[in-house]
Amino acid sequence: MAEKQHQREILLRSASAFPPPPGVKLSYGTAGFRAEGSILASTVFRTGVLAALRSLKMGGATVGLMITASHNPVRDNGVKVADPSGGMMTQRWEPFADAIANVPTAQDLVQLVFDFVKEEEIPFGGVCSAEVLLGRDTRPSGESLLEAAKQGIAAVVGAVAIDMGVLTTPQLHWMVRCRNKRRKASESDYYTQLSSSFKQLMDLIPKETAISLFDTTVLVDGANGVGGEKLIELKKMLPGLEIHVRNTGKDGEGILNEGVGADFVQKEKITPHSFDLDDAGRRCASLDGDADRLVYFCISSACGRKIDLIDGDKILSLFALFIKEQLTILKKEESKGMTDKLPSRLGIVQTAYANGASTDYLRQLGLEVVFTPTGVKYLHEKASEYDIGIYFEANGHGTILFSEQFIWGLESLNIQLASNSPGSDYQKAALRLLSASQLINQAVGDALSGLLLVEAILRHIGWSIEDWSKLYQDLPSRQLKVKVVDRSVVVTSNAETQVVRPPGLQEVIDAETAKHSHGRCFVRPSGTEDVVRVYAEASTQEAADALAQSVAREVDRFLGFGSLH
């Protein structure tokens, strides 16, 4: 009883120093909490409390807390929690995150926490210990918000905060995952694992492509964020690959995410700052502000600032092509009865925003493609159901998940092949998959590990960026949004591709879509504002525009108030 009273007093005293800003209500989504950095101290303090409680709930396992606003403008900041798996915080705790961020007083906060602790049966008041790893990106507001997070964690008796310094978001997630697997988890360990697995893949490149004239240079836009400076460190350990990083944000040159970065390049489809026609034909890539998104692009000498964009859909397709090739090689060995059968169900996970041409291409390869609602948390969860699950959003966020069972089977298979087929194509395929599982960040989308895997696969196949770009031709698309009085009126099903309510709207969408060749259209309510988003595809840009406009008008007629964007 005395321990709980002591805990109550500490929490009340600490929370009183971080009053919430009046009139501000925040919601914890896929990206955690985000707002202007100047008003986030209370939210970050309270998220520190939440992170400590999460660690206690998980038996003292390490949890992560990252301070970043990713691709948002530099004035913004945010905070999110990484679960012990290294993935995003469980969705089941999101309502508590919303509640703890928005309770008006310190007294209300303490009562909410104690009620939640009782409901969740969390050992509280110094009974057990908790550990939270902290990271932040390069935003000016990050340092003060880090202190707020530390205060929140310290307000939970028995909780310890470990400041890992300035990091990319994926680095922090990777560290949490490794620490809970009892593996080395420092930043230098991260660089060592990525560089060594990249070298292994490079050593396994087929002789016929290894001698081809391949441009070893890639130009990288660092978004004036943390990813650029980390890539400069990593590239020192990568012989055979020339990485030229631009937009590093060093010495005050350039502003974070302003006219640069993966989000800008993917949405605007033009070159970021520091890239021009002199780079025409070169392989270019762009990170976002916290380096969890990656897109590639190529500048055409005839198009000024326009680019050929290679987005997350084509990165996914490249990864799928490579993984399928290695599995096919291994299955040939299995068919001879020379090795044990490897559990190797490969699944591709997309959202409805994936370009229809990419889905068609993947299915033509004979791959299983499934859809989830929009949001990385849904994609990641679905991908984890496969032996190998690959997911990407068009914005460049995604990864590959390898099940523990698959990795164990692959390691066992490699031992068998080393005995009966050393140096064979079969053993090389097994080693490539093992190396890929070490190179890719399985905790979360990671632009740095993704970039290295792309570079290794392009070298393996012997493709230029033009070859990759021609993998398939994207269908023209258009996105619009319609302001509505209440977005909750729209209810969807089937991974947000079908409208269930209001009655009759889906029939109207189907009728409009049927008017266009290769037409596809869906609407979904925004997760953050009272708008309904409209996505349309068709065989021409004019048709895609017309389909989006006609459906937007119908949505407005059903439930809007005359405002299309």
Give me the active site residues, please.
70
Closest Cα partner for 521 from 463, 487, 480, 557? 480
> Cis (ω within 30 of 0) for the bond into 502?
yes
Q: Where are the alpha helices (DSSP H) in 440-500?
A: 447-461, 465-469
Distances (CA, A) of 104 to 84, 339, 493: 30, 63, 35
Tell me if 488 is assigned to a ligand binding site. no
CA dihedral 99, 101, 104, 109 (to 10 degrees): 70
Tokens of 390: 């690959």
Query: Residue 292 annotated as binding?
Result: yes
| Residues recorded for the chain | 565
Q: Is 276 annotated among the ligand-binding residues?
A: no
528 is in an annotated binding site: yes
Q: Any idea what the Cα angle at residue 172 is, between residues 131 and 437, rounded to 5°?
A: 115
Which residues, in sequence order, are CB contacts of 52 under 8 Å at separation 6+?
63, 130, 132, 152, 153, 155, 156, 159
Question: Is-contact 149 107, C-beta < 8 A?
Answer: no
Q: Could you give the CA distance from residue 373 to residue 533 in angstroms, rounded to a whole number?
A: 13
203 has binding-site annotation: no
Q: Is 272 annotated as a binding residue?
A: no
Give me the helix-helix angle, 106-120 and 2-16, nearest 10°. Answer: 140
Q: Cα dist. 204→12, 207, 372, 456 in Å?
A: 59, 9, 35, 10
Does the CA dihedral 462-467-471-474 come out positive or negative?
positive
State the Cα–Cα distance between residues 55 and 159, nearest whole angstrom: 8
C-alpha 153/C-alpha 49 separation (Å) is 5
Residue with tokens 């939440």: 50
What are the two backbone dihedrals, phi and then psi, of residue 76, each rounded to the nearest 5 degrees? -85, 160
Decide if 290 contacts 444 (C-beta within 8 A).
no
Tell me whether residue 527 is annotated as binding. yes
Beta strands 368-371; 491-493: pairing state: unpaired
Q: Is 83 annotated as a binding residue?
A: no
Query: 525: annotated binding-site residue?
Result: yes
Annotated binding-site ranges for substrate: 393-395, 524-528, 533
Annotated binding-site ranges for Mg(2+): 70, 288, 290, 292
Annotated binding-site ranges: 70, 288, 290, 292, 393-395, 524-528, 533
